[in-house]
Amino acid sequence: MTTILHNRVVLVTGATGALGSATAQACARAGATVVLLSRAIPRLEKLYDAIVAAGGPQPALYPLDLAGATEKDYADLADTLERELGALHGLVHCAAELGSLGPLADVTGERWQRLLHVNLTAPAIMTRELLPLLKASAGTAVFVGDSAVGAGKAYWGGYGVAKIGLEGYARILADETEGHGIKVHYFTPGPLHSPIRRSAYPAEHPEALAQPDTAAGRILALLAPNP
């Protein structure tokens, strides 16, 4: 048990996913008030109950489907966080959608737009709206990558392109905000036991993969305030 995030507010997107859930619970154990953002309301409520049962600070639920979210939705999110919680110290982008692996020539326009929106556009616009809160608290933004994509591999489609773009976005943002108190990290956890990994590598043995809790601990270290 640690209290490195005591009295801090951390927003986790994709909070009901494997890494998102592990990260949210790790932050709560460290004393943070966690804002749980996901489209899956029943799973959000289950995660909420787990955090409260474990003795963590009462989390906040924020149901939002990134696939259909607009700029106004992200502006409303920022307004709600400032009004209800007064600050934002950490932002962790765990939300992701893989789609189907296959040749780029087979990706429909609709699928292409959805995958780029969920995996790249949504975190970029959300971060833009939340930057004032993060700057005010000298906060941290963490963008989660995927080691399987690398610098570009065949058949990873819109998801692969989006993750490559997300890394570029994080690097540019880190350069632009350097010296302004905010920390920006692009975090690649490596192969994890998760639904996305199972979809991409169905024949892989789960016991050969790291558990999400391991990666969540590394994210927690990135969110820790400077001593």
What are phi and psi for residue 92, nearest 5 degrees?
-120, 115
- For the chain, percent of residues with pLDDT exceeding 90: 83
Q: What is the mean pLDDT of the chain?
A: 93
- pLDDT score for 47: 98
Count of CB atoms situated within 10 Å of the CB of 137: 18
Mean pLDDT of 76-102: 96
Angle of the 157-177 helix axis to the 109-116 helix axis, nearest 10: 30
Tell me the residue type at 131. Answer: L
Q: pLDDT for 6-49, tens place per residue?
A: 999 999 999 999 999 999 999 999 999 999 999 999 999 999 99
User: Tokens 């709560």 belong to which residue?
Assistant: 28
Q: Please give the average per-residue pLDDT across 63-81, as a whole number.
A: 97
Q: How far apart are the first and last CA of the chain?
A: 18
Write down the catalytic residue from 48, 74, 159, 186: 159
Q: Per-residue confidence at 215, pLDDT binned at 50, 70, 90? A: very high
- From residue 140, alpha-carbon distances to 43, 143, 156, 180, 181 in Å are 26, 10, 29, 11, 9
The one-letter code for the residue type at 211 is Q
DSSP the chain: ---TTTT-EEEEETTTSHHHHHHHHHHHHTT-EEEEEES-HHHHHHHHHHHHHTTPPPPEEEE--TTT--HHHHHHHHHHHHHHTS---EEEE----------GGG--HHHHHHHHIIIIIHHHHHHHHHHHHHHHTT-EEEEE--TTTTT--TT-HHHHHHHHHHHHHHHHHHHHHTTTT-EEEEE---SBSSHHHHHH-TTS-GGGSBPHHHHHHHHHHHHSPP-
Cα 85 from Cα 60, distance rounded (Å): 9
Backbone angles phi, psi at 148, to 5 degrees: -65, -25
Average pLDDT over residues 101-113: 95
* pLDDT 10s digits, 40-68: 999 999 999 999 999 999 999 999 999 99
Dihedral sign for Cα 101, 107, 111, 115, please: positive
pLDDT classification of 158: cutoffs 50, 70, 90: very high
Q: Mean pLDDT over residues 133-138, rounded?
A: 97
Instruction: State pLDDT tens for residues 115-126.
Output: 999 999 999 999
What is the pLDDT at residue 227? 59
Main-chain phi, psi angles of 220, to 5 degrees: -55, -40
CATH classification for the domain delimited by 9-223, as one of 3.40.50.880, 3.40.50.720, 3.30.300.20, 3.20.20.330: 3.40.50.720
Condensed to tens digits (0 to 9), the pLDDT of residues 169-202 reads 999 999 999 999 899 999 998 777 777 777 876 7
**Domain limits of the chain?**
9-223
Active site residue 48: no
Residue 148 confidence class, pLDDT cut points 50, 70, 90? confident
